[in-house]
Chains A and B, each alone.
Chain A
Amino acid sequence: MLYREAGQFKATYAEDQQIFPIRQDRIAITALLLVAFLVIPFVASDYWLKAILIPFLIFSLAALGLNILTGYAGQLSLGTAGFMAVGAFAAYNFELRVEWMPILVSWALGGLAAALVGIVFGLPSLRIKGFYLAVATLAAQFFIVWALTKFPWFSNYSSSGVITTGKTEIFGYVFDSPREKYLLVLAIVVLMALAAKNMVRSETGRAWMAVRDMDVAAEVVGIRMMHTKLLAFAVSSFYCGVAGALYAYAYIGTVEPEGFNLDLSFRILFMIIIGGVGSILGSFLGAGFIILFPIFLNSYADPIAHALGIDLPPGMTSNLELMIFGALIIFFLAVEPHGLARLWQIGKEKLRLWPFPH
């Protein structure tokens, strides 16, 4: 009843083309952002900020990157964690080797370095598709981690190959407490999500979707394959690279190349499968689900089992997590390939007709 667009008329093109054409959506998103910026930093505990919200935002960004490539441009990639590693190590090296480099610039340069590597590994996409392309990006994953371990220059000759990030200082202000780091990450993620949303609504995004839906047809109508595909790889890797830099600087602090392994790539792929392939919102929903669900199980599976009178053997909760994830992924692939985001959309459509469906 509340969620209805009756009476909202659009008189200009600008009004018709805004991101959220329905007023209730605009109010909801404004409220959400206000809560995220003004309320959460003051009510959330350090544990929530440090261990849940910051990684949630960072993984949302990485999932967003992968979603641009896989969900919008239709190029399957298993190299996400590798591109994140490039971002993290490049940002570290810019910061280390160029004294005056402001931290935001080195994060952006980390993203650009990842974009360049992404373009290189995106070249095979001009010839190969689908699973074969996945294998090529798998090569990127292994090659990047191998190279970062093999050449000690990347980690500044650290004996164990790990890098330790320095202070996060912007215009003389040190972002030190979890609250400050959260706000910084949130601001970056919101801006980049907004950019992504506008990108996929623009000509670029439509070209990506045309390539995804049928590349031969796209080529026939005059979309440049090389340009479009490589741009998708570059933009996607840029997002992943920035996410990697944030992962190192705002979250973990000390990272090793092995931290960016194939497991992490798969985890991000699961985020977009569960969240929704080809949806900006889905990237956030998927990241939230994949981050929160194991923590929820880990904390509450035992008490719940006790309440039900079942005695879980140790380690069972972790196995439970794998089983539930496996089942969910199969469920979503089979029943709802567009993930949680699509369920959300269906819910909204139903709500518009409620309580009097046709």
Chain B
Amino acid sequence: MPRLEEYRGIVGPDTLEELHLLARALDGKTVLHINSTAMGGGVAEILSRMVPFLQELGIHTRWEVIKGGEAFYAVTKKFHNALHGDDQGVTSRDYQIYEDTLDENLSMMDLGADMLFIHDPQPAALVKKRREMDGRWIWRCHIDLSQPSPQVWDFLKPYVEQYDASVFSAPAFAQKLPIPQFLIPPSIDPLSDKNRDLAPEEITLVLERLRIPTDKPLVTQVSRFDRLKDPLGVIEAFHKVRSYADARLLLVGGPADDDPESSLVMEEARERAKGDPDILILCLPPTSHIEINAIQRASAVILQKSIREGFGLTVTEALWKGKPVIASAVGGISLQITHKYSGMLTHSIDGTAHALKQLLSEPEYGRWLGGNGKEHIRQNFLLTRHLRDYLLLFLFLSHGQSDFIHLPDQPAAANP
């Protein structure tokens, strides 16, 4: 695990200095993050880096994961889909399972902290304990809430309204709420195994081990096997390009503890790709960070054809590696890609196929897009910016919640 000092060369000394200044102003504050899975998916990945850095900055930080059975995760998956606009009929029994599971968790958890960061809908109802506690509660919503199913949102909203603040990843996710709503996009860690530079021989070794041939340009989508990531749409777009360009499609995903649908969706994709030797479907364990890194770096083009997307960290990862990305103009992806400047934004299977054809024929254009994309990520979507926003949010909540906050002055001294 790298220390913050190691980021100096990537983000500059001033960025690190700011983090230390803010952390000093929060001296003695404690933070508790709560989510629903320790591994798999973007939230767990961010927390696994964020928590140690907050600790290094002197903020006492814990991370707890709620416990739930299969039935609970089946319900929260329904919530997840419904909040993305795909209501699959949530029943009153489902709501009961949700409430009961969170009550069980409440009876076992130590919620003592100055700032409680509750991630996503799964643990949202823990806030019912708020009145018994002193801390400030923040609901951190990582999903696309632009068109939520009214039924499920009406159920969750009274809980969300009990929080001190909410945090979303894109402006279009804002809701009518009586509490402040902050825009804090997530981030990637440039020194994590998933994103750090790899030597060409490391990349080759990984591809050989995973038996990925490199005789044709690789077109890759990395994401959970989830219908909202549209793996079947990716295969269809690839089929449309086949007669114009020789390439190989890689669909790379893995299981997540809190997603019971993933194996079903992967089987659907395998069925659709049957008989085509140029489509490879890889299911990797959630710890395969170096493998994902190597695959992204070896790819000619990265796709992210999501139907809905919270932010799309796989897009961030690919842009950071200087890759040309074709992605749906949904959720936080529009914050990351300026169309035809730092990537290609599309709205359909045909549009994706057209952009793919263009990038496979014009690799130089792809390199230009990727270079622009990388600088945009450096400025806006690295972990240090994310840490800074969280520290600012803690300061807002602990300094009287005004629009203009002056932090305490420091004594005049010799310049460092």
Bound pair (A, B)? no
